[in-house]
Structure 1
Amino acid sequence: MSLVGKVVIVTGASSGIGAATAEAFAKQSSKVVLTGRNEANLKATEAACKAFNSKVELLLIVADVTTDAEKIIKTTIDKFGQLDVLVNNAGYGEGGSILDINVDQFDRVMNTNVRSVFLLTKYAAPHLVKTQGNIVNVSSVAGLRSFPGVSVYCTSKAALDQFTRCIALDLAPKNVRVNAVNPGLIVTKFYQGFGVSEADYAKYVEHSKTTHPLGRVGQPKEVADAIVFLASDSSSFMTGATLPIDGGKQATCPR
């Protein structure tokens, strides 16, 4: 897929989709920058990448995307001298009805899911112009469809989808592509951020097998493979796309 030697930043690489994405790029012999807040989990991702490819070049940056966007880009350039792919994967969610949520909750979700992506994109764009690289944002089916009790999360992902399309148009004259993936329910630890117990999550996973037309939920690798595709020359005529990886959930209506 022409990703050998490409410098790729993956935010939120310490678990779930981010960890699987880092491993997928390691398989492609890319130079992978792993960023996240949990150093121990980042090291676990590092070990998994090296298990796939013992010669892969990796850079670990312990950082919070809401405060360290400039640091992440600068450290990458200082190490590798270029940037080819930015994967904005780090995400955060909180639940609650509009009757219950407060401004602090709104700010926390929007700061991680929208503001940090803006900052990382802003700092990365000049370097991506030099390499004619690309950006892949990790959105959600919640950006395409509405669900009760998670209004702020849905709003943040809808904003990310629109940001993806707008920045794709801004950067198209520079031959820099910008796309997004919109996962359905993927089995990760992301649910913990919503304060859901493991027992309730297990029930939700079972229920979700009935709400995804393919009759099952997804795995992180399935999203990672789509991200690698969008980052590669195999998708060279795609930009501004929001690609559902959701077993068909975005195509359904309640009945």
Structure 2
Amino acid sequence: MSGTERDRERVDPAAAEHDSAGRVLNVLITGASSGIGEAVAERFRASGAKLFLTGRRAEPPSTLRPVERYLAGDLNDETFVAQVMDEAVAELGPIDSVIACHGLQADGALTEMEVGKALELLEANVLSVFSVLKHAVPRIREGGGQIVLVSSRLGLVGIPGQAMYTAAKGGLVMLGKGAAVELAPRNIRVNIAAPGLTETPIIEAGIQRHSDPEAYRAQRAATIPMQRLAQPSEVAEAIFFLGSPASSYITGAVLPVDGGYTAA
């Protein structure tokens, strides 16, 4: 039995996520090489969905299956974005769900951040997602589909030292809302997930740079009503809901997945 056949055999047909016509979902996920994006891919994979993944890292995620495709590159490059969409359709057929998990985080006081860094934040978190939407929408299955943009709790509130990051993530929220209204007549739903502090490799690396990592972790957790950081799998569950037919009458919504941070 080939590797492809073995992987197909592992999927439980009864658990497979289907659209309203009974088809297994074709799902495109950006930022899928690590962290939340990798967890989202795992959640859709467990549902039986067919995946096309992209990310910046040259190496594919270790969870990639032989039946799946991973394409590495820079989504700030519109030519690469168009290539991703063409190859995704060639691999999967018409797309049902697009999950945009990519982005860039950077700290910096307003008066100290260089304009180039500010532009980089806007390009990575807003303009590249605009490009994904521009090229993905024409490839979404006739009859409709769903798009999820992954923003941040800091797209909803401001904190010192993050003014440009909050501006970028807040811009992503409004991009999603505008797209939701524009695309609703085509039955393409667009929703936004706003994760809080999540135990991804990037966040963990930041914690470990402090002289007392565990004390710093506890300090950050104390700012969250639930008193802990999220697990990537918890965020992935919320994104999976928005990116599947289970949320069929929800569009233009922002779903905080932040342990109560933005409610406090």
TM value normalised by structure 2: 0.86
Answer yes or no: is the 8 Å Cα contact 1:8–1:32 preserved in 2. yes
Answer yes or no: is the 8 Å Cα contact 1:30–1:57 preserved in 2. no
Moved more, 142-151 or 71-80: 71-80
Q: Which amino acid aligns with 1:2?
A: H
Partner of 1:242: 254
Pick the structure with greater CA Rg.
2
Partner of 1:57: 67
Deviation at 1:38, TM superposition (A): 1.2
Deviation at 1:2, TM superposition (A): 2.4
**Which of 205, 212, 230 lines up with 2:217 in the alignment?**
205
Q: Can you give the 5+ residue segments of structure 1 that lack an aligned partner in the other structure?
A: 51-55
Q: Which amino acid aligns with 1:78?
A: A
Aligned with 1:44: secondary structure?
Answer: coil
Do residues 2 (structure 1) and 18 (structure 2) align? yes
Do residues 44 (structure 1) and 57 (structure 2) align? no
Alignment partners' CA distance in 2, 1:163 and 1:80: 27
Alignment partners' CA distance in 1, 2:85 and 2:99: 12
Partner of 1:185: 197
Do residues 66 (structure 1) and 76 (structure 2) align? yes
Alignment partners' CA distance in 1, 2:92 and 2:130: 22
Q: Which amino acid aligns with 2:62?
A: A
Answer yes or no: is the 8 Å Cα contact 1:129–1:176 preserved in 2. no
Tell me how many residue pairs correspond in the alignment.
241
Alignment partners' CA distance in 1, 2:214 and 2:196: 16
Partner of 2:53: 34
- RMSD of the TM alignment (CA)? 1.8
Aligned with 1:238: secondary structure?
Answer: coil
**Which of 85, 89, 101 lines up with 2:97 in the alignment?**
85
Q: Which amino acid aligns with 2:63?
A: T
Deviations 1:21-71 (A, max 9, x none): 00101001111111112132x24131xxx4xxxxx8311111111112111
Partner of 1:133: 145
Deviation at 1:181, TM superposition (A): 0.6
Question: Stretches of 4+ moved more than 4 A in 1?
Answer: none
Deviations 1:210-241 (A, max 9, x none): 11111211000011111111111211110000
Alignment partners' CA distance in 1, 2:216 and 2:256: 20
Partner of 2:174: 162
Aligned with 1:227: secondary structure?
Answer: helix
Alignment partners' CA distance in 1, 2:88 and 2:214: 38
Partner of 2:32: 13
Alignment partners' CA distance in 2, 1:205 and 1:128: 41
Aligned with 2:36: secondary structure?
Answer: helix
Partner of 1:107: 119
Change (3 A) 1:73 1:131: farther
Deviation at 1:153, TM superposition (A): 0.8
Answer yes or no: is the 8 Å Cα contact 2:147–2:190 preserved in 1. yes
Partner of 2:3: none
Q: Can you give the 5+ residue segments of structure 2 that lack an aligned partner in the other structure?
A: 1-16
Change (3 A) 1:57 1:29: farther
**Which of 207, 220, 231 lines up with 2:243 in the alignment?**
231
Alignment partners' CA distance in 1, 2:177 and 2:128: 17
